[in-house]
Amino acid sequence: MAISSELPRHNVHFEPDNIKIQVDPGANLMETAVAAGVHINASCGGAGVCGTCNILVKSGRVESIRTDKISQKDYNRGIRQACQTRIFSDLNVEIPVGSRLEKAVLSREVEEVSAQKPVALVSGWSFNPPVKKVFLELPKPTMEDNVSDLSRLLRSIKQQCKLENISVNAEILTGLARILRTNNWQLTATILLEANSSCRVINIEPGDTRKGHYSLVFDIGTTAVRGQLLDLNRGKVISHCIDYNRQISYGEDVISRIAWSQKTGGLKRLQKAVTATLNDLIKGLINSADIEVQSISHMVVAANTVMTQLLIGLDPKYLRLSPYVPTISNVPLLKAKSIGINTEEHVHLYIVPSVASYVGGDIVAGILGTGIHQSDKITLYIDIGTNGEIVIGNSDVMLTTSCSAGPTFEGGGIKHGIIATSGAIEGFEINPSDFEPVITTIDSAKAKGICGSGLINIAARLLESGIITQNGKINTDFPTKRIRESEDGYEYILCKKIETQIDKDIVITEIDLDNLMRSKAAMYAGYKTLAKNIGINLTDIERVIIAGTFGNNIDIKNAITIGLLPDLPRDRFFFIGNGSLLGSRLISFSTDLLYHGETIANKMTNIELSENTEFMSDYMAALFLPHTNMDEFPSVTIKKGKKS
């Protein structure tokens, strides 16, 4: 018997999930939750500074440092920061609403995506997946024809498929003799097409298994992971899935993840977190489609550079240190199983190539899907997440950049900001008769906070009605009781305590507005910098393609009103939903497109903004609603407030 099992251990019980785990005395509560698979929000990744990982200790003894993130009143009733808490007895812990992830909104997103017909703009490809299943009937060996089993197999593939340069995965050898003889020399070979018109036999199965031939595509975001199961025979999406990236427990943004990866064992844990997320999603996809895991033949992933490096277990440290060098931008084909993904040995993972530290394969996939690299039309491609990724160009040239929009649009840095989950305020109007606000929330639930698209709508309406000024201050002269002064400055009450599920007034503060202004200014200055570098004005842009789930929910007019989008005619704007999945799906469907990713990545020039003086002056000029130069926003009219 090992000594460790002789020590007294403590039972920890997490509510409301009703999950139990045993730990050693002194264990950190945050890490215990991670180990138990219980999610607690933690923007800062356990550094103790964000105050989002609050939990309620209902019974049991803990040791916990009280920081200014918890009021004395909350502390007295048992609220603790999970990351600052150590366990010293059996424990009952409740994860309050504010610290929990809600999956309801994610499933809502899946519904919408399935309903929406994806618009692929890329051209010049046919349905011709890079992984094929071929049914073969081999002639039986005789004394006159007793070449090896492998030679017999390859000869037959050559004849039937007109393929040359055929190699084989060593793993198929073990079962080869048996499989050929199991079903009377009839079998199905799975063949991976490679560069230079060569190919590789990656799997063999007795009999005819062509019917089950599927691909998995995933978009691995910093916050959420989205996936689809594709039927490679019919070129159809079979099922969808989405979940939070389990790495969220190690911090909400890439910077916290990088910090975590530098701890002992940290990189491994981050990798395991994302592969565990993928494995659960795969299980779900397979179950919902009622297929066997053996019929998965291929996998494509697109992600930002940090997510890509963490997925394959590469230290992301240098991605955010000048001169911002990724370890790899063009990942060789990997076996999915080799990085811990629960697929069969033969499933190869194609990772869409990236351009630079800040411009990942998700953007390359989006460009591929929309065919910007093939078109004459000057196109602005935008994907707004925690980082805003921007591309301007056409078939001749493409410039790209990533600007740190900050977490504003995902609810970060906003006093009552939350991600787009149930109860988030999304719609906002001002009643013109009494100037009272009219809010709508996701799922029509009791209000819980403000999501990114809601924030844009709120700011636009407040600006248009004169409740806030163009420099983002609250117009205290406005005739409404909704404005009040707090210790953080002036704020506007969107929703009164009694109408919320958080037992607090939901407000928007001048600090919030300031953060929003900085985020949208960064995006706008990003467009301008790229346009100048390419030698055009923003008005020369012929198409604006908005990718991403957040993008899908943006109200274009409101986004122009606050200066987040350029003031162009409405008919130049297109939504494509998740661009990363769109591109990955097309790569799964067509060998013709497989190498577009590399072409695009090679064609794109990345502009680093962090040390760009032009960007800085454009940014300063954009720190106004919508902009200091109103000539750039001719369609926007604003009631002049006082305090400007």
In the set 15, 74, 315, 555, which binds its own copies (CB under 8 A)? 315
CA 51 – CA 49 distance, rounded (Å): 6
Q: Please identify, among the stretches 46-54, 161-169, 370-378, 507-515, the one whose residues bind its own copies according to the rule CB under 8 A.
A: 161-169
Identity of the residue, 37 or 175, whose beta carbon is nearer to its own copies in the bound complex: 175
The secondary structure of 10-32 as a DSSP string is EEEEEETTTEEEEE-TT-BHHHH
633 vs 61: CA distance, rounded Å: 59
**Site size for its own copies (CB under 8 A):** 45
Q: Between 92 and 612, name the residue whose CB sits nearer to its own copies.
A: 612
Choices 40-48, 71-79, 239-247, 323-331; region in contact with its own copies by CB under 8 A: 323-331
Angle between helical axes of 266-289 and 254-261 (0-180°, round to 10): 120
Beta carbon nearer to its own copies, 22 or 151: 151
Q: Does residue number 330 form part of the binding site for its own copies (CB under 8 A)?
A: yes
184 is a site residue for its own copies (CB under 8 A)? no
Distance separating alpha carbons of residues 247 and 244, to the nearest angstrom: 8
- What is the DSSP code string of 185-216? TEEEEEEEE-STT-EEEEEEEES--TT--EEE
Beta carbons of 306 and 326 less than 8 angstroms apart: no
Looking at residue 22, its amino acid is: Q
Tell whether omega for the bond before 323 is within 30 degrees of 0, i.e. cis: yes
Which helix (H) or strand (E) segment is 92 a member of?
A: strand 91-94
Nearer to its own copies, 176 or 495 (CB): 176
Residue 176 Cβ, how far from its own copies at the closest point, in Å?
5
What minimum distance in Å lies between the beta carbon of 328 and its own copies?
A: 4
Beta pairing partners, 187: 136, 206
Identified binder of its own copies from the candidate list 284, 313, 340, 466, rule CB under 8 A: 313
Distance CA 164, CA 155 (A): 10
Whichever of 81 and 357 has its CB closer to its own copies, that residue is 357
Question: What separation in angstroms does the CA of 519 have from each of 77, 189, 406, 456, 513?
Answer: 37, 52, 6, 11, 10
Q: How far is the CB of 178 from its own copies (least distance, A)?
A: 7
Q: Which is nearer to its own copies, 74 or 598 (CB)?
A: 598
CB of 229 to its own copies, least distance (A): 25
Question: In this complex, which beta carbon is closest to its own copies, that of residue 171 or of residue 280?
Answer: 171
Q: Is residue 328 a contact point for its own copies (CB under 8 A)?
A: yes
Chain-centroid distance of CA 484 in Å reads: 37
Query: Binding string, 5-44, against its own copies, x = CB under 8 A?
Result: ----------------------------------------
- For its own copies, the binding residue among 71, 167, 287, 288 (CB under 8 A) is 167
437 forms beta bridges with: 430
What are the distances in angstroms from CA 107 to CA 12, 218, 288, 580? 30, 16, 14, 19
Distance CA 466, CA 469 (A): 6
C-alpha 214: how far from chain center: 23
Stretch that binds its own copies, among 306-314, 493-501, 542-550, 634-642 (CB under 8 A): 306-314
Compare residues 222 and 329 and give the one whose CB is closer to its own copies: 329
Of 50 and 363, CB closest to its own copies:
363
Pick 330 or 471: Cβ nearer its own copies = 330
| The binder of its own copies chosen from 5, 72, 126, 174 (CB under 8 A) | 174
Q: Which of 36, 134, 150, 255 binds its own copies (CB under 8 A)?
A: 150
Q: Residue 115, interface with its own copies (CB under 8 A)?
A: no
Q: How far apart are CA 237 and CA 490, in angstroms?
A: 50
324 binds its own copies (CB under 8 A): yes
Query: Which residue, 204, 236, 229, is CA-closest to 134?
Result: 204
**Closer Cβ to its own copies, 114 or 167, answer by number:** 167
> Rounded to 5 degrees, what are φ and ψ at 538?
-60, -30
Please state the closest distance from residue 263 (CB atom) to its own copies, in A. Answer: 16
Q: CB 513 → its own copies: shortest distance, Å?
A: 34
Contact status, residue 488 vs residue 480, Cβ threshold 8 Å: no
Task: For residue 611, state whether it binds its own copies (rule: CB under 8 A).
Answer: yes
Contact between 582 and 383 under an 8 Å Cβ cutoff? The reply is no
Can residue 170 be called a binding residue for its own copies (CB under 8 A)? Answer: yes
Find the binding residues for its own copies in span 333-352 (CB under 8 A): 334, 338
Which residues contact its own copies by CB under 8 A? 1, 141-143, 145-152, 165, 167-168, 170, 173-174, 176-178, 196, 312-315, 317-318, 322-332, 334, 338, 356-357, 608, 611
